[in-house]
Amino acid sequence: MVHLNQERAPIYEALEAFRGERIVPFDVPGHKRGQGNPELTQLLGKQCMSIDVNSMKPLDNLCHPVSVIREAEELAAEAFGAAYAFLMVGGTTSSVQSMVLSACKKGDKIILPRNVHRSVINALVVNGATPIYVNPDMNSSLGIALGMKVSQVERTISQHPDAVAVLVNNPTYYGICSDLKRIVELAHGHSMKVLVDEAHGTHFYFGEDMPLSAMAAGADMAAVSMHKSGGSLTQSSFLLTGPDMNPGYVRQIINLTQTTSASYLLLASLDISRRNLALRGKAEFKKVTALAEYARGEINGIGGYYAYTSELVNGDSIFDFDRTKLTVNTLGIGLAGIEVYDLLRDEYDIQMELGDMANVLAYISIGDRERDAERLIGALEEIKRKYSKENADLYTQEYIEPKVAVSPQNAFYASKESLPLLETKGRICSEFVMCYPPGIPILAPGEEITEEILEYILYAREKGCSMTGPEDAGIQRLNVLKEEWAR
């Protein structure tokens, strides 16, 4: 087998060659290499603005790549161990939606955990496929949903043998991994495709002693958020496919929704970041893991907090754990995670990745330094000393099992009415409600609004969670299906 030269970065190289050609631009974008927008050029710099360009023959075209973008895709496929790799500029949301749209269509069944990112359910709203949910177990003391048990997947497959695909979150936002290889074997044994939302698992492909990656497990498709732990620019992502997916068809699906004006800043960042990880990823992620382990030990030494890791592994619902994730349970100091999140930002100028009802998450990756970790450790110690209180009546649930009454597509487009939040109990929701991050819906279109869900929404709003989804931005009202339609 001939190996490609991973030291190459063909898109970056083409842009550098283009920069030296002094081409007169009578095309878009209208800022004309920054000349027409001096304030933006001052903000981003001439070097950046000079390569914010349109597709042209020397730079290829993302919708139908034949030269430098195609070369970059081939290099990425080899680096990730995939049959094909697609450069994505609509974020991993676009990658996830392209997976779902490629694998199923209107009326098809797809098996998935309910604690998926909203992008998955958005795709079901678009294409009309029917979700068959595997409800994950909860760790109630930590307030997090766990992975998919093999037995749960096996039972669901036996109950729905006509399903066409199984989708897995691996890892979850909190670092929980499922037994991906066994799930792939089960699904393939029933002629079902396996799709993996691997947004938080870029480093699995390059680090040592990491959980198994989707491509290594034999999955058919994986959405990999390169900008999260891989170091590329925000909104850049990879969609990886195995040998049994038709790349021409997948490209057609991608082109249904992805822009025809792809940003070369994003494309170049993917190209350069892939090269960086292919050449230096093993050493870089060894440092990342060591930094996360060090910070975890120091935080646990403070007392009250619990920064958890692979001691949770049980070989089933927590088959493996991503040790680069630094998630800290805060309930032991009597504060909700979102309260510690706000204190860290407002009082200590530390921006965490998320704060939920019970945890804060520090996303440790290739750009973090030990002195930054020390600052976080010191701030958490001071927060405990100054703000801790009795742990009383703190809500921990990160996931509430839904009651699905109508398909997401039918509910989203059905006749609806707007009601005050507290008058919606027992009705069928026609929109999303979620805390973001992590972007896992509390309610999705087609689900019954229960008293437990209403209590959760009120509590999350009171604690200051950033809530999104409904038409009413204040979440004082919700859209529900009209009663005659729901009947």
Instruction: Specify the pLDDT at position 399.
Output: 63
How far is CA 15 from each of CA 50, 102, 215, rounded to the nearest angstrom? Answer: 9, 31, 30
Residues 37, 52: contact at Cβ < 8 Å? no
Helix (H, G, I), strand (E, B) or coil at 254: helix
Instruction: Specify the pLDDT at position 402.
Output: 81
As a whole number of Å, the CA-based R_g of the chain is 23
Instruction: Specify the pLDDT at position 61.
Output: 97
Give the tens place of pLDDT for each residue, 244-280.
999 999 999 999 999 999 999 999 999 999 999 999 9
Chain centroid to CA 237? 10
Chain centroid to CA 351? 18
- What is the C-alpha separation between 135 and 146, in angstroms, rounded? 10
pLDDT (tens place) for every residue of the chain, 487 residues total: 678 999 999 999 999 999 888 888 898 999 999 999 999 999 999 999 999 999 999 999 999 999 999 999 999 999 999 999 999 999 999 999 999 999 999 999 999 998 888 899 999 999 999 999 998 888 988 989 899 999 999 999 999 999 999 999 999 999 999 999 999 999 999 999 999 999 999 999 999 999 999 999 999 999 999 999 999 999 999 999 999 999 999 999 999 999 999 999 999 999 999 999 999 999 999 999 999 999 999 999 999 999 999 999 999 999 999 999 999 999 999 999 999 999 999 999 999 999 988 999 999 999 999 999 999 999 999 999 999 998 766 666 656 778 889 999 999 999 999 999 999 999 999 999 988 777 788 899 999 999 999 988 888 888 778 888 889 988 899 999 998 665 5
Q: 112 has which bridge partners?
A: 133
- What is the C-alpha separation between 232 and 234, in angstroms, rounded? 7
Instruction: Specify the pLDDT at position 270.
Output: 98
Instruction: Specify the pLDDT at position 1.
Output: 63
Going by the DSSP 8-state scheme, the letter that residue 447 receives in this structure is B
Chain centroid to CA 172? 8
Instruction: Specify the pLDDT at position 88.
Output: 98
Q: Do strands 165-169 and 144-145 pair parallel, antiparallel, or not at all (unpaired)?
A: unpaired
Residues 146, 318: contact at Cβ < 8 Å? yes
The closest alpha carbon to 180, from 166, 190, 192, 191, belongs to 166
- What is the C-alpha separation between 464 and 356, in angstroms, rounded? 10
Instruction: Specify the pLDDT at position 314.
Output: 96
pTM: 0.94
How far is CA 202 from each of CA 165, 206, 333, 438, rounded to the nearest angstrom? Answer: 22, 8, 33, 17
78 C-beta neighbours (distance < 10 Å), count: 18
Chain centroid to CA 404? 23
What number of CA atoms fall less than 13 Å from residue 31's CA on the CB side? 18
Domains assigned to the chain: 60-270 (3.40.640.10), 408-486 (3.90.100.10)
Give the tens place of pLDDT for each residue, 364-403.
999 999 999 999 999 999 999 999 998 766 666 656 778 8
- What is the C-alpha separation between 433 and 421, in angstroms, rounded? 11
Exposure string for 416-452, b = 16+ CB within 10 A, e = fewer: beeeebeebeebbbbbbbbbebbbbbbbbbbbbbbee
Residues across the chain: 487
Instruction: Specify the pLDDT at position 170.
Output: 96
Torsion angles phi and psi, residue 151, rounded to 5: -65, -35
* Torsion, Cα of 371, 374, 375, 380 (10° steps): 170
Q: Do strands 354-355 and 359-363 pair parallel, antiparallel, or not at all (unpaired)?
A: antiparallel
Return the structure tokens found at 412.
Answer: 């989203």
How far is CA 412 from each of CA 128, 131, 180, 426, 429, rounded to the nearest angstrom? Answer: 10, 14, 32, 17, 9
